[in-house]
Amino acid sequence: MNLMDDSKLPGTRLEPKPGTLYIVGTPIGNLGDLSNRAKSLLKDISVIACEDTRRSSQLLKFINSTTPLISYHKHNLKSRLPQIIELLKKKESVALISDAGMPGISDPGEELVHSAKSNNLEVICIPGPCAATTALVISGLHSRRFCFEGFLPKKQNDRDKILKVIAQEERTTIIYESPHQLTKLLEELSDNCGEERLIQVSRELTKRFEESIRSSLKEAIEFFKINKPKGEFTIVLEGKKKKKEYLISKSEAIKKLECLIKEGQRPKDAAQQIASETGYTKNWLYSELHKKLDK
């Protein structure tokens, strides 16, 4: 399929609605990931707010869009945000894109959407790639429930507080980090979570040198001592393992096991039954029973 030609795909054209803010996801490294809806909107909309106009003009060139760009980033947010809200109130439609990925995820998109909603303006998302979810779904760590931390604070005090919370978190945690801070972060995570905790370090997702390493924190630290971190990194950290909860005490479990065996059940089947009823493992029950019989 020709990635530039969306005219044959039904339902991709989207007339921008007046006075609406469009949050448009753009690729995190591979231009082929720009959706047809995003392409069509970025051609038809009146204005596009972006973080870096030079970077975004390359994207527009790729799709032959001549839509004007205005900059909206953390350094001009205070003055530019009210101007964008004014445009929307005057029934202009505005698209927001970031340097890469989903606007609003670890970038100033959050503040603009917050303000648009407070002004009762309509906000529509044209979804696209996000580094956090891209790394999560290939990690093999639990993805049913997860936390996103973005970049950790730079101030050591604030950072230490968050690291302590992350260490106790049972859900998988996703963190963004720059290459020159990666080793420091891995060491901090190891100090707080223990060196055996599993981690996936993904770099350059969707790009030519994409690589994901899954290992213990200890092994990851050793790996990056030898291989200097280069590129963009997303980290996926295994959640803290739940302490196993047993429904009854060890001695009660063994007593129940002995009862079943006395009633005529085969020891193997009895151990299996008690294991499923109590949370103790079948092997542990079995070996405890033998220890008792050997006495």
Q: Does 102 bind ligand SAM (CB under 6 A)?
A: yes
Residues 207-266 binding ligand SAM (CB under 6 A) are 207, 232-234
Cβ of residue 250: shortest distance to ligand SAM, in angstroms? 46
Cβ of residue 135: shortest distance to ligand SAM, in angstroms? 7
Cβ of residue 154: shortest distance to ligand SAM, in angstroms? 14
C-alpha distances in Å from residue 55, one per residue of 59, 62, 76: 7, 11, 17
Q: Which stretch binds ligand SAM (CB under 6 A): 4-12, 40-48, 176-184, 239-247?
A: 176-184
**3-class DSSP assignment, residue 61:** helix
Q: Does 202 bind ligand SAM (CB under 6 A)?
A: yes
Q: Cα(217)–Cα(187) distance, rounded to whole angstroms?
A: 8
Q: Cα(133)–Cα(150) distance, rounded to whole angstroms?
A: 12
Q: Cα(226)–Cα(224) distance, rounded to whole angstroms?
A: 5
Cβ of residue 256: shortest distance to ligand SAM, in angstroms? 51
Question: E strand or H helix at 105, and its extent?
Answer: none
Read off the tokens for 122: 């309509």
Q: Which stretch binds ligand SAM (CB under 6 A): 54-62, 124-132, 222-230, 238-246?
A: 124-132
Length of the chain: 295
Interface residue with ligand SAM, options 106, 173, 200, 278 (CB under 6 A): 106
Nearer to ligand SAM, 40 or 202 (CB): 202
Residues 1-40 binding ligand SAM (CB under 6 A) are 28-29
Q: Does 146 bind ligand SAM (CB under 6 A)?
A: no
Q: Which stretch binds ligand SAM (CB under 6 A): 5-13, 101-109, 152-160, 181-189?
A: 101-109
Residue 234 forms beta bridges with which residues? 176, 202
Interface residue with ligand SAM, options 206, 216, 265, 273 (CB under 6 A): 206
Cβ of residue 220: shortest distance to ligand SAM, in angstroms? 15
Interface residue with ligand SAM, options 16, 101, 108, 239 (CB under 6 A): 101
Closest CB to ligand SAM: residue number: 101
Q: Does 98 bind ligand SAM (CB under 6 A)?
A: yes
Q: Which residue type sits at 200?
A: Q
Nearest Cα neighbor of 112 from 136, 76, 147 is 76
Q: Which stretch binds ligand SAM (CB under 6 A): 117-125, 127-135, 186-194, 271-279?
A: 127-135
Q: Where are the beta strands (DSSP E) in the chain?
A: 20-24, 47-50, 69-71, 94-96, 122-126, 146-151, 172-177, 198-203, 211-216, 233-237
Sheet of 69-71, strands arranged across: 69-71, 47-50, 94-96, 20-24, 122-126
Residue 230, sorted as left (phi over 0), alpha (psi -120 to 50) or beta, turns out to be: beta
Q: Pairing between strand 146-151 and 211-216?
A: unpaired
Question: Which residues here bind ligand SAM, judged by CB under 6 A?
Answer: 28-29, 98, 100-102, 105-107, 130-132, 176-178, 202-207, 232-234
